[in-house]
Structure 1
Amino acid sequence: MAETDNRLIVLAPGDTVAVARCAIAEGEELMIGGQQVALAQAVTMGHKVARKPMEAGDKVLKYGVSIGSATVPISVGEHVHLHNVKSDYTPTYALTEEGEVA
């Protein structure tokens, strides 16, 4: 059995995240780093899923480099995005449902 589900792409061996090749529904079972995990929330194509547990302040690694820091603890299989990571380099902006910058 594969160590990581083929619906995920691992871009560099030391990465703490994998990238979804396709949309993956909430509750789907995935193999991540040899561990069977059920996704707690849906992940859309191109979004990141944790490969390793991270604590607040840990660097999030993608392409073998830091893309930011975890702002809260992140579990294996958890969606990694603006709600739990901040850039260490540029301000993070997101649009609210009303189209306002948050």
Structure 2
Amino acid sequence: MSIPQFLVHSPKDNVGVVVVEGLKAGTEMLGVVTENDTTLKLTAKHDIPIGHKVALKPLKAGDTIVKYGEDIGKMVGDAGEGDHVHVHNLKTKRW
């Protein structure tokens, strides 16, 4: 298997976490769901920094974001599959 560019912790998650430096828009990304070792493929729509989230499916403002199988916040803007998800379009419960 190739080295994944993003990880998803739970099959319930709707975002993954980028785990490589310098991920560029247009990159065909391989992702791994750590709970069950399944793989996903997405195309990055934007440059996404390491540690930031990527949308696994289209997300609308008001949608609940699930990471680690847990509700971590709500979208405040829309994001398509492969889009960067961060403070510009997500309000986390933590902050």
- Corresponding pairs, count: 87
Cα RMSD between the aligned structures? 2.3
**Normalized per residue, which structure has more strand?**
2
Tell me, in whole angstroms, the C-alpha distance in 2 between the residues paired with 1:46 and 1:87.
15
TM-score normalised by the chain length of structure 2? 0.76
What runs of 5+ residues in structure 2 fail to find an aligned partner?
32-38
User: Alpha-carbon deviation of 1:51?
Assistant: 0.6
Q: Which residue of the partner structure matches residue 27 of structure 1? A: 26
User: Alpha-carbon deviation of 1:48?
Assistant: 0.5
Match of 1:16 among 5, 14, 19: 14
Identity %: 34
Q: Which residue of the partner structure matches residue 76 of structure 1? A: 81
Tell me, in whole angstroms, the C-alpha distance in 2 between the residues paired with 1:45 and 1:83.
16
Tell me, in whole angstroms, the C-alpha distance in 2 between the residues paired with 1:45 and 1:34.
18
User: Could you report, residue by residue, the CA deviation over 1:19-73 in whole angstroms, capped at 9, with x for unpaired residues?
Assistant: 1111211221225675652x23211111110012111100011001111101122
TM-score normalised by the chain length of structure 1? 0.72
Q: Which residue of the partner structure matches residue 69 of structure 2? A: 64
Q: Which residue of the partner structure matches residue 59 of structure 2? A: 54
What runs of 5+ residues in structure 1 fail to find an aligned partner?
91-102
Higher alpha-carbon Rg: 1
